[in-house]
Amino acid sequence: MALKSICTLLILIHCVCELDTLILDWLGGEDRPVQEGDVRLVGGQVPSEGRVEVYHAGTWGTVCDDGWGMEEAQVVCSQLGYRRALFARVEGSFGQGSGQIWLDNLNCRGSEGVLAGCGFKGWGMTDCSHKEDAGVVCEAGPNSAVTSMSTHAIGLPEQLGKLFDTEKDCDFTFSIVSPQKTRGQVEENQVPGKQETICAHRVILSLIPELNLTDSHTLEVSHSCRPHVRDFIRYLYTRSVKVTPSSAQCLHQLASKFDLVELMEDVGRLFIYLLPADRSFRTQVSLYNYAELTGDRVLRENVLEFLSWNVANVIQSAQWEKLPEGLMFALLQRSDLVVNDELSLLKAVGTWNAARHTEQEKLIALLKLIRFPMMTPEQLYDLHVVSDLFQNSQDVLLAGELLGFRFHTLEFSLLTRDMRNDSEVFQPRIYTSDLWSSIINSTSPSRPDQYNPYQNYNSKSFETPDHFSRIRQTQRYGSWNSRVFLTKQECINAGRRCETVPAAQLLLNTYQPGRSYSNRLVLACNDGFVIHVQEFKDYVALVPSNSSQTLSDLCSGDLSYRFVVRPI
């Protein structure tokens, strides 16, 4: 391409940078093609307000209002070219959408360029209904004109991609080298240690300040990463790249090396699909260490969540005694650990410590994260017998015992001072003991009784204590009815509306004033490997469709639905 053409492209780039408040109003009938990650506002009385919808995988979908606040609203308004956000709306205030709910539990800083650049669990992973669709009201000022940009600017990424592909008029070189392979490892048509070059254009790369490049740059990558380096450099031109299972780690490493946070976090989300594949947990622990090294908070959270769901299985694996201290601290701080009870977790920490011989100061800090009030008085009374940690950490364990006994014997009004300072220790994790949970195994839709077509055989009744605190139990037990809906017809027969199946329902048969619950549905394969944990909302837990697909892929036998009661 001639130098004149390059200069024309640079002028267009300059226009895009200077006019970053001007965006295309495709709702107004302009001809800009809708792009991945675009947002729009629907249902408002003026263009600057409405229900937030985001474009992904060729489909518009809504955003759940869980965690929806001004930071998230600000990102939407900025992405649409408005001056600022005035209000963040919840509960479908601009009308309920339909179809996909793409984003849930967003965690924006407010400075992201696009909504999809914020932290979230994954596309389509939600337990919301459209009653919880999020909306915004933006301020439409004189600097937020909603007009069409030049069609040349709209097509600029594609043109820049073609410029890169021509390999003409380059004035910058990436040198790609790989470590010397040992004898017998030489790949066909590839000389060990051979340097490969990829040409680029300095002025294009200069628009990305994170790169901080000089005259040339040498990239040292593994042999398996080399085939994907060209795609990465092309991304610097187009801001678009196809990610495959074979290229994900390479692209993530390169994005981390050049501090391209958006690409790093987008690719990091794909690693979640690798997590269930390794029953030994070596992959999960390695990915956690890798996330810590690269600073990828999305990948770190995904790994921590998955390990939390499967912590009981991790404890039984060879990886438990090898867990790094940082990972152990991160796990013990979480409330989504799926364990039999708190005492079993304390014993596991003892096993880990016996293998690691942790420094006393760090061990004490770990033990302070154990939630002693969630143990029964009988378990607290025998703590000195069952815990090998008691001899070396007697003071902290005795303090934990005392706190636990106070929780079981005093009214909550006397504990408020402690609960303000250490509220987490008074909150349950996800305890799967028979005392607090019940399980239903289902492999196929239940067949209705010919005499009673509304009968659902995937159901069970069970009882749990009234509360974890012994003084609040007062010999009363809660009576629960649990059921699994594997078809939408079963939901309809039960008077429920399930937007996705499978779904589960957990009803408290006898209402008790002053009681509240944060119950969970734990889905696991027949080998006990937990695939998904879902919160109940309005007594129903909806399994996200993409998680359901993962379940069907990974569970060759029975699938269990464990209903866990969590009094708060």
Q: What is the pLDDT of residue 55?
A: 92
Residue 530 has pLDDT above 50, yes or no: yes
563 compared with 258, residue with greater pLDDT: 563
272 with 347, same domain?
Answer: no
Q: Is residue 148 part of a domain?
A: no
Task: State the average pLDDT over residues 207-219.
Answer: 76
* Cα–Cα distance, 429 to 422 (Å, whole number): 15
114 with 228, same domain?
Answer: no
402 with 500, same domain?
Answer: no
Residue 469 has pLDDT above 90, yes or no: no
Q: What is the pLDDT of residue 230?
A: 93
| Residue range 60-73, pLDDT digits in tens | 999 999 889 898 99
Residue 420 has pLDDT above 80, yes or no: no
Domain that holds residue 373: 310-430
Q: What is the pLDDT of residue 195?
A: 77
Task: State the average pLDDT over residues 266-288.
Answer: 80
Residue 7 has pLDDT above 50, yes or no: no
The amino acid at residue 49 is: E
Residue 343: pLDDT band (50, 70, 90) is very high
The order of strands in the sheet holding 559-564 is 437-442, 559-564, 520-525, 530-535
Q: What is the pLDDT of residue 179?
A: 80
Q: What is the pLDDT of residue 265?
A: 77
Task: State the average pLDDT over residues 522-531.
Answer: 88
* Cα–Cα distance, 413 to 124 (Å, whole number): 42
Residue 451 has pLDDT above 50, yes or no: no
Q: Is residue 2 part of a domain?
A: no
212 compared with 488, residue with greater pLDDT: 488
Are 101 and 137 within 8 A, CB to CB? no
- Strand pairing class (172-177; 101-103): unpaired
* Range of 3-7, 125-129, 253-257 with top mean pLDDT: 253-257
Q: Is residue 21 part of a domain?
A: no
Q: Is residue 147 part of a domain?
A: no
CATH number for the domain that contains residue 208: 3.30.710.10
How does DSSP classify residue 560?
Answer: E
476 with 401, same domain?
Answer: no
Q: Is residue 227 part of a domain?
A: yes
- Strand pairing class (216-220; 172-177): parallel
Q: Is residue 536 part of a domain?
A: yes
Residue 194: pLDDT band (50, 70, 90) is low
* Range of 28-37, 235-244, 354-363 with top mean pLDDT: 354-363
Instruction: Please tell me the total count of domains within the chain.
Output: 4
Lowest mean pLDDT among 70-74, 364-368, 456-460: 456-460
Task: State the average pLDDT over residues 75-88.
Answer: 89
Task: State the average pLDDT over residues 448-460.
Answer: 58
Are 542 and 497 within 8 A, CB to CB? no
Are 545 and 446 within 8 A, CB to CB? no
Mean pLDDT of the chain: 80
Residue 26: pLDDT band (50, 70, 90) is very low
CATH number for the domain that contains residue 314: 1.25.40.420
232 with 343, same domain?
Answer: no
- Strand pairing class (503-508; 477-485): antiparallel
CATH number for the domain that contains residue 489: 2.60.210
Residue 312: pLDDT band (50, 70, 90) is very high
| Domain final residue pick, 371, 395, 430 | 430
Q: Is residue 95 part of a domain?
A: yes
Lowest mean pLDDT among 46-55, 98-107, 452-461: 452-461
486 with 553, same domain?
Answer: yes
> pTM of whole model > 0.85?
no
Three state DSSP letters for 20-83 = CCCECCHHHCCCCCCCCCCEEEEECCCCCEEEEEEEECCEEEEEECCCCCHHHHHHHHHHCCCC
| Residue range 279-307, pLDDT digits in tens | 888 888 988 988 898 888 878 888 999 99
383 compared with 445, residue with greater pLDDT: 383
273 with 169, same domain?
Answer: yes
CATH number for the domain that contains residue 86: 3.10.250.10
Residue 339 has pLDDT above 70, yes or no: yes
228 with 242, same domain?
Answer: yes
Task: State the average pLDDT over residues 246-250.
Answer: 84
* Cα–Cα distance, 64 to 118 (Å, whole number): 14
Residue 454 has pLDDT above 60, yes or no: no
156 compared with 150, residue with greater pLDDT: 156
404 with 320, same domain?
Answer: yes
Q: Is residue 9 part of a domain?
A: no
Q: What is the pLDDT of residue 180?
A: 67
424 with 445, same domain?
Answer: no
Residue 150: pLDDT band (50, 70, 90) is very low
Helix, strand, coil % (nearest 5) of the chain?
40, 20, 40
Written as six digits, the tokens of 182 are 């040992």
242 compared with 2, residue with greater pLDDT: 242
| CA-based R_g, the chain, Å | 27
| Residue range 96-108, pLDDT digits in tens | 988 889 998 888 8
| Domain final residue pick, 380, 397, 430 | 430
276 compared with 323, residue with greater pLDDT: 323
Query: Taking the alpha carbons of 206, 210, 211, 214 in that order, is the dihedral positive or negative?
Result: positive
Q: What is the pLDDT of residue 502?
A: 80
Tell me what percent of the residues of the chain surpass a pLDDT of 70: 80
394 with 436, same domain?
Answer: no
Residue 117 has pLDDT above 90, yes or no: no
Residue 30 has pLDDT above 80, yes or no: no
555 with 436, same domain?
Answer: yes
> Which positions ≥6 away from 252 have C-beta within 8 Å?
264, 267, 268, 271, 294, 296, 299
Task: State the average pLDDT over residues 492-510.
Answer: 80
Residue 446 has pLDDT above 60, yes or no: no
211 compared with 469, residue with greater pLDDT: 469
Residue 53 has pLDDT above 90, yes or no: yes
